[in-house]
C-alpha cells in the first residue's frame, strides 16, 4: 500500500518567494494533518482537515500560511511570502476513523528559506 506522499522532499528558495508543499494522503483516510518540526519548537500541529474541511487552523503561525484540501486525495500548504524563520521540516499525516487511530506520516519536506 502506498503511504502518505509528500512533495517536494527538499525545497530551497529565497526569502519573499511563494512556497507550495503538497501532500497525497493514504486512500480512504478521512483526516489530514500538517505539522512543522524545528529544533527550537519540536513538532507542532499547524492545521487539520476532516473530510476535506479545515477544522482547526489555530496552529498556523501567521496569515502568510494557508492550507487547502480541494479533494480527498490532495492537500497543499502554502507560504507567501516566505521568510527565513519558516525553515523547517513540514510533515503531512493522514488517518482513518477517529483519534483513537494512529496517524501515518509522509517523509516530510525540508524547507530552507535563504
Would you give the binding string for other proteins spanning residues 42-81, x where CB under 8 A is met?
xxxx--x-x----xx--x----------------------
- Measured from the CB of residue 105, what is the shortest distance to other proteins in angstroms? 4
Cβ atoms of 32 and 93 closer than 8 Å: yes
Cβ pair 99, 74 in contact under 8 A = no
- Piece in contact with other proteins (CB under 8 A), picked from 18-26, 65-73, 76-84, 88-96: 88-96
Q: What nine digits make up the cell of 22?
A: 503538497
Cα–Cα distance measured from residue 88 to residue 91, given in angstroms and rounded to the nearest whole number: 10
State the nearest-atom distance from the C-beta of 45 to other proteins, in Å: 4
Amino acid at each position: 500500500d502506498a503511504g502518505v506522499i509528500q512533495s517536494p522532499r527538499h525545497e530551497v528558495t529565497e526569502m519573499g518567494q511563494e512556497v507550495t508543499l503538497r501532500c497525497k494522503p493514504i486512500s480512504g483516510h478521512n483526516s489530514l494533518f500538517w505539522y512543522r518540526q524545528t529544533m527550537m519548537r519540536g513538532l507542532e500541529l499547524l492545521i487539520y482537515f476532516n473530510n476535506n474541511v479545515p477544522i482547526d487552523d489555530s496552529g498556523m503561525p501567521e496569515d502568510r500560511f494557508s492550507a487547502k484540501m480541494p479533494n480527498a486525495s490532495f492537500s497543499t500548504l502554502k507560504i507567501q511570502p516566505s521568510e527565513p524563520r519558516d525553515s523547517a521540516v513540514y510533515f503531512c499525516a493522514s488517518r482513518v476513523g477517529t483519534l483513537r487511530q494512529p496517524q501515518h506520516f509522509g517523509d516530510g519536506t525540508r524547507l530552507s528559506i535563504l
